[in-house]
């Protein structure tokens, strides 16, 4: 099914299901009202028969009310989940229309200095990250950013491709996980608070006698109360023990309060983590990478979600310390807060080595889900073949993924060996920079394990490095020219070190005079050829293209041109072999009023 049809039909099904849940919500409201009315009626009717008849009836009806209340809360959660799913599918429809700007831009991932991220619009508004991400948690967002910033090894790329293809067939499962994650976003603050608590030394379990006192002390006070009810002990003894246990509970609470305050802030996120991980645990996967990630979620023959759920239940029980009616009797009779704290400290001891894995695994699953949604939404895109032989690239119908399909002009590329440099000349606005970015972005996607915006792509495993969008830095007193030299220095160091890099250069040495620029450009090209580097260089310097005469086997000349008619410019944005012969700068200058 086409993505557009799938999302529209999914929305219709979800809306139908949502209406049914809304009807159930109305029914639950009336049933709750009826159960309370029945309690009042039971007291009125049965009181004359005896107080115990009325009390028993009231207890039974209150139990029915509580059951209805929990059912209503579960139904409300289902309604919220349905609404999240409807919003997710609406967002995908907007994405298919070219509007992906409501997805997170990933500004927090923008690195100050990176080999290509700033040149190729990997992060920020209208970026590759914003186009791809479907992550709900901050861990997923971080992992996806890491995928885009650093090339995976070839074997992992292949594993990711297999996993993405499998997940692309599980869009409903992906959306369910995304919707669960949107209920309460799991953040790094959540993880940090949990880590800080894990790092703290135990408060109660380090005192070994608590292991038996936790049972003996409640047994004593319950015995005293029972004996008092049957007049077996005096009121003096009874009140003495009550005060003693109240004092013990008060002292215990001093140590419980700060721990509870910290953990209560993340209780709802812990619940989200539990249901999200349970969703992954219950899935059936075939690909080795997904199976490996799923296996992390099992510990000592138990599902990790059960352990996380146990933590959430302990926190729920500890929340009773805020209940003025129940807190006092529970802590006097059962040392309630102590019991929960000992349970929490036992949980901490059992799980402290596993927590990092939970968050990382969820992050990787969400990142792979994002690539899978991209695969589903772009069925015409191809999965690239990545080879370890350096250097080779061949691509058919390569386009820039961020340009809408109706406006996108695709081109080919072929560089068959290292030391072969592609020089691209052309007029202003003819498409040189967009071509470099199209190739660069698709190679990044290939190194990530994602499908690419092309009908075919075979490329060596490489580290992309670019020098395209150079700006000055007033804070560092760095001029544009010096900023470019710093970038070129990094490129030269990697080339001299024999690293397998793929270089994208746009108008090199633009910040100096034309003579030094040409001299420096020629020297750089010769150095790249000498060290068998792979590069695409876009330039206005037509003289630079003549270097092919000296290195006929190492230079490939291509160009973008422009057609001029009645002082109007027409671009076809198609890459052509050879050197550009058409210029348009003078026409553009005339258009703005420069008298030539």
Q: For residues 553 and 594, give the distance between their C-alpha atoms in angstroms, rounded to a whole number.
A: 42
Question: What is the DSSP code string of 85-123?
Answer: HHHHHHHHHHHHTT--TTS---GGG--SS-SSTTTTT-S
Judgement on whether residues 291 and 202 belong to the same structural domain of the protein:
yes
Judgement on whether residues 79 and 197 belong to the same structural domain of the protein:
no
pLDDT value at residue 462: 96
Judgement on whether residues 300 and 267 belong to the same structural domain of the protein:
yes
**Is 428 inside any structural domain?**
yes
pLDDT category, 470, cuts 50, 70, 90? low
pLDDT in tens, 111-152: 888 999 999 999 999 999 999 999 999 999 999 999 999 999
The answer to whether the CB of 383 falls within 8 A of the CB of 451 is yes
Which residue in the block uniquely carries the two structure tokens 């207890």? 59
Percent of the chain scored above 70 by pLDDT?
A: 91
Least Cα distance to 372 among 445, 284, 306, 450 occurs for 450
pLDDT in tens, 560-583: 887 766 666 677 889 999 988 766
Higher pLDDT, 419 or 138: 138
On the question of pLDDT at 2 being above 50, the answer is yes
pLDDT value at residue 187: 93
Judgement on whether residues 356 and 423 belong to the same structural domain of the protein:
no
Residue ending a domain, among 360, 376, 394, is: 360
Q: Whole domain around residue 402: which residue ranges?
A: 385-591
Which residue in the block uniquely carries the two structure tokens 């299901």? 17
pLDDT value at residue 353: 86
Find the mean pLDDT for residues 70-98: 91
pLDDT value at residue 568: 65
On the question of pLDDT at 476 being above 60, the answer is no
pLDDT value at residue 479: 62
**Is 296 inside any structural domain?**
yes
**Is 305 inside any structural domain?**
yes
Q: For residues 370 and 91, give the distance between their C-alpha atoms in angstroms, rounded to a whole number.
A: 14
| Ramachandran category for residue 462: left, alpha or beta (phi over 0 → left; psi -120 to 50 → alpha) | beta
Find the mean pLDDT for residues 397-407: 94
In the chain, the largest separation of any two C-alpha atoms, in whole Å, equals: 115
Find the mean pLDDT for residues 479-507: 86
Judgement on whether residues 336 and 430 belong to the same structural domain of the protein:
no
| Ramachandran category for residue 335: left, alpha or beta (phi over 0 → left; psi -120 to 50 → alpha) | left
**Is 235 inside any structural domain?**
yes
b/e for 475-511, b at 16 or more Cβ within 10 A? eeeeeebebbbebbeebeebbeeeebbbbbbbbbbeb
pLDDT in tens, 147-177: 999 999 999 999 999 999 999 999 999 999 9
Judgement on whether residues 403 and 454 belong to the same structural domain of the protein:
yes
pLDDT in tens, 24-54: 888 777 877 777 777 777 766 766 666 666 6
**Is 180 inside any structural domain?**
no
**Is 144 inside any structural domain?**
no
Question: What is the DSSP code string of 313-369?
Answer: HHHHHHGGGG-TTTHHHHHHHH-HHHHHHHHHHHHHHHHTTTHHHHHHHHHHHHHHH
Judgement on whether residues 223 and 319 belong to the same structural domain of the protein:
yes
Q: For residues 442 and 522, give the distance between their C-alpha atoms in angstroms, rounded to a whole number.
A: 28
Other beta carbons within 10 angstroms of residue 90's beta carbon come to: 14
Residue ending a domain, among 97, 125, 145, is: 97
Mean of pLDDT over the chain = 88
pLDDT in tens, 346-364: 999 988 888 899 999 999 9
pLDDT in tens, 304-320: 888 899 999 999 899 88
Judgement on whether residues 348 and 420 belong to the same structural domain of the protein:
no
State the DSSP code for 406. Answer: T
Other beta carbons within 10 angstroms of residue 461's beta carbon come to: 19
**Is 466 inside any structural domain?**
yes
Count the domains in the chain: 3
Judgement on whether residues 321 and 445 belong to the same structural domain of the protein:
no
pLDDT in tens, 228-281: 888 888 889 999 999 999 999 999 999 999 999 888 888 889 999 999 999 999
Least Cα distance to 137 among 280, 37, 350, 341 occurs for 280
Q: What is the CATH number of the domain that holds 401?
A: 3.40.50.300
Judgement on whether residues 460 and 577 belong to the same structural domain of the protein:
yes
Find the mean pLDDT for residues 202-209: 88
Q: For residues 61 and 412, give the distance between their C-alpha atoms in angstroms, rounded to a whole number.
A: 74
**Peptide bond connecting 391 to the previous residue in cis, omega within 30 degrees of 0:** yes
**Is 130 inside any structural domain?**
no
Judgement on whether residues 403 and 543 belong to the same structural domain of the protein:
yes
Judgement on whether residues 351 and 422 belong to the same structural domain of the protein:
no
């Amino acid at each position: 099914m086409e993505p557009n049809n799938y999302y529209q039909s999914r929305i219709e099904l979800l809306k139908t299901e949502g209406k049914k849940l809304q009807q159930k919500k109305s029914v639950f409201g009336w049933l709750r009202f009826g159960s309370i009315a029945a309690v009042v009626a039971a007291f009125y009717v049965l009181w004359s028969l005896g107080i115990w008849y009325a009390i028993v009836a009231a207890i039974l009806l209150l139990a029915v009310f509580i059951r209805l209340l929990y059912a209503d809360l579960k139904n409300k959660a289902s309604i919220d989940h349905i609404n999240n799913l409807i919003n997710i599918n609406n967002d995908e429809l907007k994405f298919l229309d070219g509007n992906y700007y409501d997805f997170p831009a990933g500004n927090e991932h923008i690195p100050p200095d990176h080999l290509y991220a700033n040149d190729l619009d990997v992060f920020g508004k209208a970026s590759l990250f914003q186009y791809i991400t479907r992550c709900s948690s901050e861990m997923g967002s971080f992992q996806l950013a890491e995928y885009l910033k650093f090339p995976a090894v070839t074997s992992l790329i292949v594993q990711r491709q297999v996993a993405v293809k499998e997940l692309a067939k599980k869009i409903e499962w992906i959306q369910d996980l995304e919707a669960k994650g949107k209920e309460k976003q799991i953040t790094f603050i959540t993880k940090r608070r949990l880590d800080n608590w894990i790092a703290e030394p135990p408060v109660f379990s380090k005192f070994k006698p608590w292991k038996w006192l936790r049972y003996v002390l409640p047994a004593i006070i319950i015995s005293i109360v029972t004996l008092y009810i049957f007049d077996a002990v005096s009121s003096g003894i009874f009140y003495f023990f009550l005060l003693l246990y109240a004092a013990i509970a008060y002292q215990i609470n001093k140590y419980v309060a700060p721990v509870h305050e910290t953990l209560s802030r993340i209780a709802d996120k812990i619940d989200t983590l539990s249901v999200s991980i349970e969703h992954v645990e219950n899935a059936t996967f075939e690909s080795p990478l997904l199976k490996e990630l799923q296996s992390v979620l099992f510990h000592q023959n138990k599902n990790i979600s059960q352990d996380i759920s146990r933590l959430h239940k302990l926190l729920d029980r500890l929340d009773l310390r805020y209940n003025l009616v129940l807190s006092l009797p529970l802590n006097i009779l059962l040392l309630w807060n102590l019991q929960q704290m000992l349970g929490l400290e036992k949980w901490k001891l059992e799980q402290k080595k596993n927590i990092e894995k939970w968050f990382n695994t969820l992050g990787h699953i969400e990142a792979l889900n994002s690539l899978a949604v991209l695969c589903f939404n772009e069925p015409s895109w191809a999965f690239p073949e990545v080879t370890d032989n350096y250097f080779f690239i061949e691509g058919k119908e390569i386009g820039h993924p961020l340009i809408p399909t109706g406006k996108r002009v695709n081109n080919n590329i072929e560089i068959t060996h290292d030391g072969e440099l592609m020089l691209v000349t052309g007029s202003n606005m003819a498409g040189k920079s967009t071509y470099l970015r199209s190739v660069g972005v698709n190679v990044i996607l290939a190194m990530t394990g994602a499908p690419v915006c092309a009908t075919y792509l075979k490329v060596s495993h490489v580290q992309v490095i670019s020098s395209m969008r150079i700006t000055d830095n007033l804070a560092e007193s760095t001029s544009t020219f010096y900023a470019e030299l710093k970038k070129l220095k990094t490129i030269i160091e990697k080339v001299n070190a024999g690293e397998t890099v793929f270089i994208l250069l746009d108008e090199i040495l633009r910040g100096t005079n034309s003579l030094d620029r040409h001299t420096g450009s020629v020297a750089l090209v010769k150095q790249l050829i000498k060290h068998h580097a792979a590069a695409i260089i876009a330039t206005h310097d037509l003289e630079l293209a003549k270097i092919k005469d000296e290195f006929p086997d190492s230079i490939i000349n291509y160009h973008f041109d422009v057609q001029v008619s009645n002082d109007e410019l027409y671009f076809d944005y198609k890459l052509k072999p050879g050197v550009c012969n058409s210029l348009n700068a003078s026409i553009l200058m005339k258009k703005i009023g420069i008298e030539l």
